[in-house]
Structure 1
Amino acid sequence: MGKKFKQKGVSFFLTPLSEATLIQLDQDILDWFKSKGKGYQSLINSALCSYIEHNSSL
């Protein structure tokens, strides 16, 4: 989840630095993300960000 900025009429996002971490996922979940091809780790991150945005009241 990045912050949106606007400079000279151009909007852009700055994403926070990422941190390497180790998480355990069910094999079928990991297989599904990997089946999407290169960038599956970014896809996992996007899915988690989306979950947080839609469940921020938890």
Structure 2
Amino acid sequence: MPPKILRKWFVSEMKKLGVNSGFIDAFCGRVPRSIQDSHYTDLSPERLKEVYQKANLNVLE
């Protein structure tokens, strides 16, 4: 599966799970789109891990 398709699936699933777009951008390696996300969203590795685990998204089962 090409990375572009996997990335599109990942973003769609994370949005369905209610994950903030700032975190989704960080997971995909993109720079935060808004001033709020870039200045006030904690994008530390620890916080990203917490958000990802809370989403409980399984790619392979």
Q: Which protein shows a greater Rg? A: 1
Query: Which structure dedicates a bigger proportion of its chain to helix?
Result: 2
Query: Which structure dedicates a bigger proportion of its chain to strand?
Result: 1
Question: Relative CO higher for 1 or 2, CA cutoff 8 Å, sep ≥ 6?
Answer: 2
**Length-normalised TM-score, structure 1:** 0.30
**Length-normalised TM-score, structure 2:** 0.29
